[in-house]
Structure 1
């Protein structure tokens, strides 16, 4: 089994895994970073979203062998104290209901704002379209993103 040296949440880690092992399972099973959730397993729901070099990526379909020199950030690494502007806006707007999808939602929103500091509704809709919220908090999600953009 090959060993991969990857940077996750600003820490270099050595991971022994098959080349096709999804990043999600490395995070959850090998590194105990369980904030990233398993949802559908086919990159359609967004619950497993992490950042790879700052871009939102579905970790359930991203093989460990594809990371190379890229830097991975999970919800645990977004902010040491939970004070990222998106996390703060999520609390202010009381976005979460069941909460299952929220780590993926927050990671997608943070990636959007890192690339577009002042997104309009169309940009928000486009960036968030791959994240499903079974509780239907889409209005609060959009409001929270707009609040975080002002921070």
Structure 2
């Protein structure tokens, strides 16, 4: 049976067949690992500088974006008024504290019973005003 007998020629397992360039590298790997740790540490100053640059770019770009839609529709009427009871899909029932108009979008500050005060964009989240009769029924229950 040819599978049960060992191969005729077994490669030697000595370091003599290894290339010499690999042999000196192995002892130096622990020493080489120490200098490589320094560059992997994050540079806090560089990160802060990038964040400042990004914020300054966003601050300079934001007025241009908000001015163009606002100039096209100067009579934007907010859908919700402070004091309105609303229902928002992910958060449930809440009361509108403040309604802000930012360009062509309405931003609501809503006080939810279970989640506290949250900022909601009705163009992103499903927000519906509760009719007055539902408001009285929910208070009695």
Q: What TM bracket, shorter-length normalisation?
A: under 0.3
TM-score normalised by structure 1 residue count:
0.22
More RCO (CA 8 Å, sep 6+): 1
TM-score normalised by structure 2 residue count:
0.23
Higher radius of gyration, 1 or 2:
2
